[in-house]
Chain A
Amino acid sequence: MAECHPVAFRWVMKAKLKGAKIIHADPRFTRTTAMADVYAPLRAGSDIAFLGGLIRYVLHDERWKSDSFFQDYLVNYTNASTLVDPGFQDTEDLDGEFSGLMDYTGGKPEWPLNGFIGEYERASWGYQREGTAPGKPASGDTTTAFDALIRGLSQSPVRKDPTLEDPRCVFQIVKRHFDRYTPAMVADVTGCAVDTFVKVAQTVLSNSGRDRTTAWAYAVGWTQHTYGPQMIGCCALLQLLLGNIGRPGGGVIALRGHVSIQGSTDIPTLYDNIHGYMVAPSTLKSHATLRDYLKAEAKPTGAWSDMPKFMVSYLKSMYGDAATAANDFGYGWHPRIAGDHSHLPMFVAMAEGRVKGMICVGQNPATSVNASLERTGLRKLEWLVVKDNFLTETATYWNRAPEIANGSIAPADIATEVFFFPSAQVAETEGSFTNTQRLLQWHFKAAQPPADCRSDLWFTYQLGVRLKRLYAGSTETRDEGFQRLTWNFDPDDPATAVVGEPDPRKLLREINGYHSASPLRHLEAASELRDDGSTTCASWIYCGVFPAPDRNLAARKTPDQKGVTGAHLEWGWAWPANRRVLYNRASADLQGKPWSERKRWVWWDGGKWAGHDVPDFPRHKSPDAPADPRASGTDALSGSSPFTLKADGVGWLFVPEGLVDGPLPTHYEPAESPVRNPLYARQTSPVLKYWKREDNLLAAPGDPRFPHVITTYRLTEHYVGGGMSRWSPWLSALQPELFIEMSPELADAHGIVNTGWVRISTPRGSIRAKALVTRRLRPFRIAGKVVHQVGMPWHWGWEGVVTGDVVNNLTALVGDPNVSIHEAKAFVCNVEKG
């Protein structure tokens, strides 16, 4: 965190000055470790074993078992008591697999690139339900068009055992599942000494409870694995057991990547989402009509029962007046996905010659995961647009890449037409950032972009304008979407701007939403959204950021007064509803009283919910309000169900839906590992994604040719592919050369000396780097044998002030099945002097 999020780490340091304990778990001793009170060194890729060990430790802890805080939270705020389908079989029963594993059958002939090696049939992972569905309500609000549809989705109530004794209840399943994650097993899998592990466990436990909370922060050290989402889920499970969710100072904190990467998932660049985390319409699912889509994706209970309102308002934003109830609000014009179109399969498809052109804005795939394969893909394009501040490696892959330099490929043989659009820099643009805590902050333009550099907003807007013009006369039905798309963000005063630059405020207004009939009446909250077309709103989660044409709340800059406890609610605007801590109803007990004075955040003041933050709960729903099984939406949840986005209102220890690789986190080895999985017969995730090609081979488990675990990471001094640092002499001088960090033990074994050259190879490629020999790395003892861990920052390429080999020539296209994140954090390699 200190390395990659130094400014956010400011708060960690403030906490440290107040006496907070800091724990760091990382294969390498980093700048973050330097600030930590406890350091848990562990082999890359083994964190689920570590977290699983913590879960088991907590479940066996006497204080945990007897403290009413933990038990009240567990029984009431989590699904611990819910009974799971009798057909469910755990990894305990099937030695590393869950029930329902089968061959992959999905996919479309036109897009066979989903990469699955297996698939789970997930019916058995559901809850047990009472025999009968609740009766449809006799009367109710039927003014909204999709009301009946939502009510029709309701299922019979789940079965629970509040004593947590039923062997089929979530709690008992979790307990059995993690029982093999003993401290000794943790040490064997991770390489972390037992006493260090126990110290971590005790520190976390003693800093959790009524009066204290523990927060976990993670970034790509946890996500970039074939089981990345499971890693985060495992931490969430632990945090729920410790009552650390929905409370100040708690949570599982994602430290996100690029400056507005949170914004780019909210307003998604993700292929499988549309705004506000709604699933993208898909040809693989029963999404034929709007009603089908809502039937498949909306929930009868919890906040997602409002999905018809979100979706219809979104479609109104897409197609404006053309979207009417009669034409399904233009749903039919909306593009649909046909499989996994994420980065990894996209480049496999490219390498197979199935992709014609690419627009690459602010990305540098020529140095990205399995870079030689990605460059193979680039070479097969007919055209490529690169829009960047500099001529990055992706802009010069055709004349300066290593394979060109060594003569194995001639530029003349590459048919791609490459266009380069110089980009404006951040200080030359205006707009909002959404940071990792979902906070929108407005930034202003400090300078005009030089010469013909244009903002990305300009580019995208002008592209849209031109495409609309191109398709204006088309009679093809497939072009109707383009023709109907509303697309006018021209500034009111065009003289003041760069020619053609859209007004970013108009975009934010579109995202915030307004009354369809009178666009100058902005929406003030998502609760105003309607599913009849009377409201227009691109993203329901951002609804409220721009409540009036002259009130851009993202631009607020008023901090709380010094010494006053608060959430700085007047600083920027956080989605949803300017709420800073999600699920904050959990910061109060069943009666709505704060669990402790020290940790008070949101509470029931007798008539309504109040507190330092915007309460994440129906404002006037009393804590003792019972659940109404016949109602829909949040009305179906009781006054003590803090997790209102979940259909059952509680935090999930066991995840009955949403994940495709298992309802509980399980330790698997990375796709490449020097050891056999010490926990199960199953070596790797049975459903990971892998694209088998000659240029994407994997080393077999324990392959003696590649004995060392390697991880890749970032340096504070550089920024990802280097576009924002390797062109700056000041930053370049701080870390001028590519290096590999290794322990003196490993260096000695190979005759490698500090700053000497090393050759690093994997089944995909081989590169050179200088050695940085340091005791900050250490050999691990894993499953009885010594395993060396090495690590490389991956910021270099052949362009820029400082250059170096492309580390991603070493990595493989292998990913997780939920979100297709690659596994650049744990693979195997060989090192030699040279």
Chain B
Amino acid sequence: MAEPMGFFTDTSVCIGCKACETACKAWNQLPAKEGGHPPMSGDSYDNTVRLSGEDWRHVKFIEQFSEDRSAGRWLMMSDVCKHCVNAPCLEVCPTGAIIRTEFDTVVIQTDACNGCRLCITACPFGVIDVNPVSKTAEKCTLCYDRLQVGMQPACAQACPTASIQFGPIAQLKATATARLSQLQAQGEKQASLYGADDKMLGGLNSFYLLLDEPGVYGLPVDPKMPTRNLFWGSVSSVAAAVVLGVVGLFGFRERRAVDESDADA
């Protein structure tokens, strides 16, 4: 296996230019949303609205202003598949379409996927959706095709401010830690890394530097593996089945008892 590769996205220098979004579309030849003329969302400068099977990158815009404008921020963040080390989508996929590559990234094999859409429900970040052309589940491949020939992902290459940094995970983590301490020294007390350690799903191979709570960016605080519910879910089912079986068997006994008393009478 090659070295684990991924993204460090420093949202503090993201200018919301959407070059990443567009580069991804161009490289992967993804269809334009609603033929290129969706209605204006009214949600700041975001008209893509969410990650989906045709938008594998999505730049979020979060306006935070106090009523008198004495405090104000406009946060931007380029969202993408997190390429989780323990990937919930991969875990549940019933066809084996989702694989882990030699770069420790998570890829959906379009030709294997049958569109059951279970992976959509499993991804804690709302990354996956069905692509209207292939009609299969699609998401960022971390440019597997480019990585295989030694190129960097299209989005990272297009990013003018190096908000998206691509590289070996170990190296990115060092960069991220340094940037975090710089920001904190500059008084950005709320700044934090998201997914940079292995506590979150074993680590996110696309991790972030955020300037506010994860929830503000639409990110879960504590994303979990879907199988966390497998044990108790099964127990509840089995228990219910046992109860029903017992009820049924007791039903026979009661029926017999009633019959006998009927006969007695």
**9 A-B contacts (beta carbon < 8 Å):** A3-B15, A9-B160, A34-B16, A732-B32, A734-B18, A735-B40, A770-B40, A774-B63, A801-B37
Most chain B CB inside 10 Å of its own CB: which residue of A9, A730, A773, A802: A730
Which residue on chain B has the smallest CB distance to residue A33?
B74
Q: Do the beta carbons of B22 and A730 come within 8 Å of each other?
A: yes
Is B199's CB within 8 Å of the partner chain A?
Answer: no
Q: Do the beta carbons of B15 and A735 come within 8 Å of each other?
A: no
User: Of B15, B47, B69, B75, which one neighbours A734 at CB under 8 angstroms?
Assistant: B47
With A715-B45, A755-B41 given, name 13 new contacts (CB 8 A): A6-B160, A9-B160, A13-B15, A16-B13, A17-B179, A19-B186, A31-B74, A31-B76, A34-B16, A716-B15, A730-B22, A733-B34, A736-B36
Is B162's CB within 8 Å of the partner chain A?
Answer: yes
Task: Known A10-B161, A29-B72, A775-B65; judge A733-B37 contact (CB<8 A).
Answer: yes
Task: Known A6-B17, A13-B161; judge A733-B40 contact (CB<8 A).
Answer: no
Is B39's CB within 8 Å of the partner chain A?
Answer: yes
Given the complex, which residues of B lie within 8 Å of A734, measured CB to CB? 18, 21-22, 47-48
Q: Do the beta carbons of A733 and B76 come within 8 Å of each other?
A: no
Residues of A that sit less than 8 Å from B by CB: 2-3, 6-7, 9-10, 13-14, 16-17, 19, 29, 31-35, 39, 41, 715-717, 728-737, 739, 754-755, 770, 772-776, 778, 801-802
Q: Do the beta carbons of A735 and B32 come within 8 Å of each other?
A: no
- Compute how far the CA of A755 lies from the CA of B43 in the bound complex, rounded to whole angstroms: 9
Given the complex, which residues of A lie within 8 Å of B75, measured CB to CB? 34
User: Of A716, A729, A731, which one neighbours B16 at CB under 8 angstroms?
Assistant: A716
Q: List CB contacts (< 8 Å) of B152-196 with chain A.
A: 160-162, 179, 182, 186
User: Of B39, B72, B161, which one neighbours A736 at CB under 8 angstroms?
Assistant: B39
User: Of B15, B22, B41, B67, which one neighbours A9 at CB under 8 angstroms?
Assistant: B15
Closest CB in chain A relative to B155 CB, distance in Å: 13
Closest CB in chain B relative to A774 CB, distance in Å: 6
Which residue on chain A has the smallest CB distance to residue B22?
A730
Give chain A's interface secondary structure class.
mixed
Q: Do the beta carbons of A10 and B18 come within 8 Å of each other?
A: no
Q: How would residues 38 to 74 of chain B score, 1 for a CB under 8 Å from any chain A CB and 0 otherwise?
A: 1111101101100000000000000101010100111
Q: Do the beta carbons of A34 and B73 come within 8 Å of each other?
A: yes
Given the complex, which residues of B lie within 8 Å of A776, measured CB to CB? 63, 65, 72, 74
- Compute how far the CA of A7 lies from the CA of B19 in the bound complex, rounded to whole angstroms: 10
Q: Do the beta carbons of B22 and A729 come within 8 Å of each other?
A: no
Given the complex, which residues of B lie within 8 Å of A39, measured CB to CB? 72
User: Of B16, B36, B162, which one neighbours A801 at CB under 8 angstroms?
Assistant: B36
Q: Which 7 residue pairs are nearest across A and B when measured between Cβ atoms?
A: A729-B36, A729-B32, A775-B65, A755-B42, A2-B15, A737-B40, A34-B74
Which residue on chain B has the smallest CB distance to residue A777?
B69
Task: Known A6-B17, A734-B18; judge A728-B36 contact (CB<8 A).
Answer: yes
Given the complex, which residues of A lie within 8 Å of B19, measured CB to CB? 6
Closest CB in chain A relative to B36 CB, distance in Å: 3
Is B150's CB within 8 Å of the partner chain A?
Answer: no
Q: Do the beta carbons of A733 and B36 come within 8 Å of each other?
A: yes
- Compute how far the CA of A620 lies from the CA of B209 in the bound complex, rounded to whole angstroms: 52
- Compute how far the CA of A736 lies from the CA of B63 in the bound complex, rounded to whole angstroms: 20
Task: Known A730-B32, A776-B74; judge A7-B40 contact (CB<8 A).
Answer: no
Given the complex, which residues of A lie within 8 Å of B22, measured CB to CB? 730-731, 734
- Compute how far the CA of A234 lies from the CA of B204 in the bound complex, rounded to whole angstroms: 51
Given the complex, which residues of A lie within 8 Å of B37, measured CB to CB? 729, 732-733, 736, 801-802
